[in-house]
Structure 1
């Protein structure tokens, strides 16, 4: 079994093999982990996070996994992302208290991967430091310890090429005028996000689309701006070779640099990479 890293150099892990998917618009990747964020998260969750987990989050604070599966009882179980250390209660592992109530999960755990009724979590019921990792499926009423600690969990992840990969596709098509109207009205999260999803792959004037995204960044709905930015990053990645004037990118970067949502701010560095 290949280990996660061979050595540590200048604060970064030298990977023995690939772990992260490295998508330009990864909804699970949070802003860079700071000591202040770590202290606040541990205080909020009332736990000491495993050293190995913390060091991994310092290299990338959550995200989609290239090594996307875990074998349990000879069955491949999808583990296609790791939750990072957020700064707010609905971000990364800080979503744990809410999900415990929502899905009837055990207390004294920290979720690290999963969705809905099935989760992988750090199991602090067993021990308070360097806890084991447990898998639970509430629908099947099934629970099992899968690794003695977080490092053991990472070491057992593997790439399953058969895991279905899908691309979100807009449910409708939108004219530029329709997008402008829903952005101006600002009160229909689905239409706003779906129209940007449509134009993330549809042809349009890039500067125009950025101008509409700049308006959306001021929308008070906390879920709209992050989703729109994810689709904008997809558009930027698909349009990069055709962008000759980077002024609109500069404007977008400045707009999100100090945005109140970490899910929006996290794209700032990525946009700078396209500008430079």
Structure 2
């Protein structure tokens, strides 16, 4: 699973690491990292992730999510800062912080399991500690991109909701606004129009937009197949094929997995 945005300038991204270096840091911390954590660190040593939230496991609310946008790398400025953060914020011992900004943190809780620790969410101010996932594998599987809405901005009140306004955004150069608009409209009434916009964005020059299209399909394709007119399913096929042909290997690989998972017999 490739989780990284892969930006050149990224405050959370550390120099490339290796299995040898990770083993050294594990010995230094007297801790064994989950295999899936080490796997993503070998792909990229920390950084901004292409998701913005993680779903709370076993929670009754369907929209129960924690915000997250980065994962620490292996080294100074990454997980080696965990002990300092624990002391600074008065957090429990025997945990390993792997994401956070001072207001809240995500950590591996070795107090409960020294081999396969659960992931917890901590808020220093409220002293709240919540188990987010039973394992780091589950944590990765529960990462998602959720809708982002503008707050207290009258000028943007209708942006990203009307088709005309959205098309203006899609034809512009504000990459983050395009991403937000795609996410805000991912449960459309007009499936034909939205699928056409996804198809255009599937060949966008910016990798972040193409990754957003991939994530939207990965999370919603079954719903789109059920809820949209069968005569529109060819658009979904075209989007998947465009993504499979993408020069970015992570996008292409994820699109192939989508095709493998769905199989065109379901269309």
Report the TM-score when normalising by structure 1: 0.50
Q: 2:66 aligns with which of 66, 77, 87?
A: 77
Residue in 2 aligned with 1:101?
A: 87
Q: 1:37 aligns with which of 21, 26, 37?
A: 21
Residue 59 (1) aligns with residue 48 (2) = no
Unaligned runs of 5+ in 2: 151-267
Residue 146 (1) aligns with residue 146 (2) = no
Name the CA distance, whole Å, in 2 between partners of 1:163 and 1:25.
Answer: 26
Q: Kindly provide the CA deviation profile for residues 233-256 of structure 1, in whole angstroms up to 9, marking residues without a partner as x.
A: xxxxxxxxxxxxxxxxxxxxxxxx
The answer on whether the counterparts of 1:96 and 1:111 sit within 8 Å (CA) in structure 2 is: yes
Unaligned runs of 5+ in 1: 5-14, 165-276
Residue in 2 aligned with 1:122?
A: 108
Greater helix fraction, Structure 1 or Structure 2? 2
The answer on whether the counterparts of 1:133 and 1:149 sit within 8 Å (CA) in structure 2 is: yes
Residue in 2 aligned with 1:21?
A: 5
Offset of residue 118 of structure 1? 0.9
Name the CA distance, whole Å, in 1 between partners of 2:100 and 2:120.
Answer: 12
Tell me whether 119-128 or 75-84 shows the greater mean CA deviation. 75-84
Judged with a 3 Å threshold, the aligned counterparts in structure 2 of structure 1 residues 163 and 94 are, in CA distance, closer, same or farther, namely farther
The answer on whether the counterparts of 2:19 and 2:42 sit within 8 Å (CA) in structure 1 is: no
Name the CA distance, whole Å, in 2 between partners of 1:47 and 1:143.
Answer: 21
Q: Secondary structure at the match of 2:146?
A: coil
Offset of residue 161 of structure 1? 4.2
Tell me whether 143-152 or 33-42 shows the greater mean CA deviation. 33-42
Of the two structures, which has the highest relative contact order with CA contacts closer than 8 Å and spacing of 6 or more? 1
Name the CA distance, whole Å, in 1 between partners of 2:83 and 2:71.
Answer: 17
Name the CA distance, whole Å, in 2 between partners of 1:161 and 1:95.
Answer: 31
The answer on whether the counterparts of 1:78 and 1:163 sit within 8 Å (CA) in structure 2 is: no
Offset of residue 142 of structure 1? 1.2
Name the CA distance, whole Å, in 2 between partners of 1:102 and 1:48.
Answer: 23
Q: How does 1:178-193 map to 2 (within 5 A)?
A: none
Offset of residue 147 of structure 1? 0.7
The answer on whether the counterparts of 2:54 and 2:66 sit within 8 Å (CA) in structure 1 is: yes
Residue 92 (1) aligns with residue 78 (2) = yes
Offset of residue 36 of structure 1? 3.0
Offset of residue 39 of structure 1? 2.1
Residue in 2 aligned with 1:155?
A: 141
Structure 1 runs (4+) deviating above 6 angstroms are none
Offset of residue 40 of structure 1? 2.2
Q: Kindly provide the CA deviation profile for residues 178-227 of structure 1, in whole angstroms up to 9, marking residues without a partner as x.
A: xxxxxxxxxxxxxxxxxxxxxxxxxxxxxxxxxxxxxxxxxxxxxxxxxx
Total equivalences in the alignment:
146
Judged with a 3 Å threshold, the aligned counterparts in structure 2 of structure 1 residues 145 and 22 are, in CA distance, closer, same or farther, namely same
